Amino acid sequence: MRGELQGFVVMAGIPMEAAQRVADIGLFFVPIDREIALRINAKFPYLVPGEIPAGAYPGVPDTPTLQVHALLVVSSAIPEDLIYRVTASLWSERTLSLLKSGHPQGKAISLKTALEGISIPLHPGAERFYREHGIVTKGTPTP
């Protein structure tokens, strides 16, 4: 060994600055086959199949991978109405506009996919918001 970096594993939003900094020295990503990603997801629901899109890094094609989603975790002791309002504000036009203009990954965030990768139970206030917006339907179990 000559003290050179041979590889690294990291979970971060794309584009990741550290990867951009080393892109000019032959950066490549090891793809994770979708079937393998699905088996991992079955065991660890917070790890979901994803993709690094072509163009995120110079010369790197679409690459299947695993991803994690950001979760806002709150105490079950917080009143339902407050969490309902917090959830509503997270999905407001203003918040979505800030997300879409603030980071490249912000464009991928939508109410339709809000519960992908969730591995913990929803707070009753959040569940009410998602139910009212057709994301959680009556009888649909939540994690």
127 and 63 within one domain: no
91 and 62 within one domain: no
pTM over 0.75: no
36 and 10 within one domain: yes
Boundary residue ending a domain (48, 68, 88): 68
- Banded pLDDT at 142 (limits 50, 70, 90): low
78 and 61 within one domain: no
pLDDT at 37: 95
94 and 38 within one domain: no
Boundary residue ending a domain (68, 94, 119): 68
pLDDT at 81: 98
The yes-or-no verdict on residue 43 having pLDDT over 70 is yes
82 and 55 within one domain: no
pLDDT at 31: 94
The secondary structure element, H or E, covering residue 36 is: helix 34-43
The yes-or-no verdict on residue 123 having pLDDT over 60 is yes
The yes-or-no verdict on residue 125 having pLDDT over 60 is yes
SS (H, E, C) 56-123: CCCCCCCEEEEECCCCCCCCCCCCHHHHHHHHHHHCCHHHHHHHHHHCHHHHHCCHHHCCCCCCCCCC
107 and 63 within one domain: no
Per-residue pLDDT averaged across 89-103, rounded? 91
The yes-or-no verdict on residue 47 having pLDDT over 70 is yes
Q: To the nearest whole percent, how much of the chain has pLDDT over 70?
A: 94
Q: pLDDT higher for 61 or 10?
A: 61
Range of the domain at 4: 1-68
Count of domains in the chain? 2
Boundary residue ending a domain (68, 88, 111): 68
For 58-95, the pLDDT digits (tens) are 888 899 999 888 888 999 999 999 999 999 999 999 99
The yes-or-no verdict on residue 107 having pLDDT over 90 is no
76 and 141 within one domain: yes
Max distance between CA atoms of the chain, in angstroms, equals 60
Q: Residue 78 maps to which CATH number?
A: 3.40.190.10
